[in-house]
Amino acid sequence: MLWQIDASKKMVNVLNKVLLIDDVVIGGSVESPAELDIYSDVDIKIILLDNTRINIKNVLDAIATEFAPVFGFEVISHTRKDAIRVCLENGMRFDLIIRYPNDKEPMSEDDTFSQKVDGVVNQFWFLASMILVKLGRRDNLIAAHLSLELYQLVIVVQMLVRDNAKDTNIHRFGDSEKIPSLHTLSCIAAPFSLSCDTADKVLAMLFSVASEMENELARLNFGYSKKSDVLESMALQLLT
């Protein structure tokens, strides 16, 4: 049996410990076990009892404690719901839709520099895991699209660094900045011809941009741990 069915039950128990929940609905492939495969995530809809904003860090910490460390995640917020898409270092992925009965309580938008960088970094690693899923399901188009998006996210970190250094996000002129990730991308493309396997090209892009993100973060000296080795383990699990 695949991991998703047991994991969905365990996840409901975890969420009940940290959220005030009115109802839970498990959806997606878990509802139709015949459709489950190694690439499937677990879709859970959570309906809360009140409109108090959840503490996403607490939710992720609880998940990490009960399952495995968080590899990457992204949060998509709407007026009455938060979507948390998370991948763990053991390869498990969850899509959690958290619905509020009414409009959420307002929240301050004054993110610090480190918080903004952290949001980009966590999205980067989540999307990296999704590329492996798309390659496993032979969706080269989406995998290639996401790989190029990762290069953009490395540049976004550079932009945040510049904004922080200059204390503004309005720049009439730039500083003729070097963009290492573009050089990396051009070097990857050079050895490949049109006859080369597309999935191999995308995989090469993925691991090169992962290294480039780690290099960029090392320059920030924020203490981020390297995750390329975890990504490689996931690739061996999903693509062999």
Summarised one tens digit per residue, pLDDT across range 211-229 is 999 999 999 999 999 999 9
Across the beta sheet with 81-88, the strand order is 21-27, 42-48, 93-99, 81-88, 70-77
User: Are 40 and 57 in contact, with CB atoms under 8 Å apart?
Assistant: no
Same domain, 57 and 146: no
Residue predicted with more confidence, 161 or 175: 161
Rg (CA), the chain: 19
Single out the residue of 146, 148, 202, 155 nearest to residue 180, CA to CA: 155
* DSSP sequence for 195-216: TS-HHHHHHHHHHHHHHHHHHH
CA 149 to chain centre: 12
Report the relative pairing of strands 93-99 and 42-48 from DSSP bridges: parallel
Q: Given this model, what pLDDT does residue 212 score?
A: 94
Q: What is the structure's pLDDT at 195?
A: 60
**CATH code of the domain containing 66:** 3.30.460.10
Q: 3-class DSSP state for residue 175?
A: coil
Same domain assignment for residues 121 and 220: yes
Q: How confident is the model at residue 198 (pLDDT cuts 50, 70, 90)?
A: confident
| Predicted confidence band of residue 76 (pLDDT cuts 50, 70, 90) | very high
Higher-confidence residue of 27 and 228: namely: 228
Same domain for 143 and 45? no
Is the per-residue pLDDT at 194 higher than 70?
A: no
Domain of residue 200: give its range.
113-239
Name the band, by pLDDT with cuts 50, 70 and 90, for residue 193. low
Report the C-alpha dihedral over residues 111, 164, 114, 181, rounded to 10 degrees: 120
Query: Domain for residue 108, yes or no?
Result: no
Q: Is the pLDDT of residue 1 over 70?
A: no
Distance CA 46, CA 8 (A): 12
Number of domains in the chain: 2
- At 187 the pLDDT is 77
pLDDT recorded at residue 182 = 79
* 192, pLDDT greater than 90: no
**154 and 71 within one domain:** no
**Percentage of the chain lying above the pLDDT 90 cut:** 74
What is the rounded CA–CA span in Å between residue 60 and residue 213? 22
Average pLDDT on 54-80 reads 95
In a domain, 154, yes or no: yes
What is the rounded average pLDDT for all residues in the chain? 91
Asked whether 227 and 214 are in contact (CB, 8 A), the reply is yes
Q: At residue 107, does pLDDT exceed 80? A: no
Cβ neighbour number for residue 179 with a 10 Å cutoff: 13
Lowest mean pLDDT across 81-95, 102-116, 130-144, 145-159: 102-116
Report if residue 106 sits inside a domain: no
| Pick from 121, 67, 116: nearest CA to 96 | 67
What is the pairing mode between strands 93-99 and 81-88?
antiparallel
